[in-house]
Amino acid sequence: MKTQNRVSAAAKNPVAAGPALGDRLPTPPRERKPALAALAVLLILVGALGATVLVLQAGDRVEAVQITERIPAGQPIPEDAMTPVLVAEADGVDFVLWGQRDQIIDGDVWSRVDLVEGTVLVEEMFTRDDQLGADDVLVGLSLSPGQYPTGLEVGQTVAVYWVGNDAEDAAEADDDATGGGAGPGRQVLSDAAKVVVVDGGNGNRSDLSVTVRVPTEEVAPLTRAASGGDVAVAIVAPAGSED
């Protein structure tokens, strides 16, 4: 009987069991990382600042005139060679605004330099036609080292010479026909051409693109010689100047 009583008592008072399988173990506290939080805030601020800068830059853009085809120096700029383009304003750069294009179309304006496709017009690239006389023409010359003097500048007066083998043959034939002696004077294409544009060089002995103003009667021989690169220029005193 005592044995049965002990068994019954043990059944009524079971040994305390461990934690249930479904219970979670306590987790350690999360480690805080203030550096990562600060980095996230910094990235947000940088993004906001970048967006603000883009908005401000967009507000500083102006609609300017862009050239869609090549315009040689000395030629007018036709309306169908213009298109609007947005550009950022810059200090010291005088863009020709799209709203001002009528002043170029109707204002007797010609290009001072060769304009290539994609060029955005600024004021310094063209000038008014009133600088040309009724009998004056602008002619472009491509000059290599040895074909122009150091210090060639806009506003100077130059003599333009025909050089090369063809020039010598022509001069000799001229002299034989007239009985004169051969000399460099026979090869002068223009004795008082006015320099209106000088492009290139950059202070070194390199190729130059030069535009000169000459009388109409000098254009044909000058352009023929210039097309073959057979011209050279020399700086001379302006017409009417005294020694």
**pTM for the predicted model, two decimal places:** 0.46
Pick the residue with more confidence: 164 or 7? 164
pLDDT tens profile 144-176: 998 999 888 877 899 999 997 765 555 554 444
Strand pairing report for 188-200 and 157-162: antiparallel
Q: Is the dihedral of CA 224, 228, 229, 231 positive or negative?
A: negative
Q: Is the pLDDT assigned to residue 76 strictly greater than 50? A: yes
User: What is residue 148's predicted lDDT score, i.e. its pLDDT?
Assistant: 92
Q: What percent of the chain has pLDDT over 90?
A: 18
Q: How far is residue 63's CA from residue 89's CA, in Å, rounded to a whole number?
A: 10
- β-partners of residue 115 are 71
User: What percent of the chain is predicted at pLDDT more than 70?
Assistant: 63
What distance lies between CA 97 and its chain's CA centroid?
17
Distance CA 194, CA 180 (A): 29
55, pLDDT greater than 50: yes
The pLDDT tens digits for 189-208 are: 999 998 887 877 655 568 88
Domains and CATH numbers, the chain: 61-130 (3.90.1210.10), 133-236 (no CATH)
Q: What is the pLDDT of residue 180?
A: 45
Residue-by-residue DSSP string for 14-78: PPPP---TTSPPPPPPPPP-HHHHHHHHHHHHHHHHHHHHHHHHHHTEEEEEEE-S-B-TT-B--
Task: Inform me whether the pLDDT recorded for 5 exceeds 60.
Answer: no
Tell me how far the alpha carbon of residue 198 is from its chain's centroid: 17
Query: DSSP labels for 118-180?
Result: TPBPBGGGEEEGGGS-TTEEEEEEEE-TTSS-TT--TT-EEEEEE-SHHHHHHHHHHHHHHTP
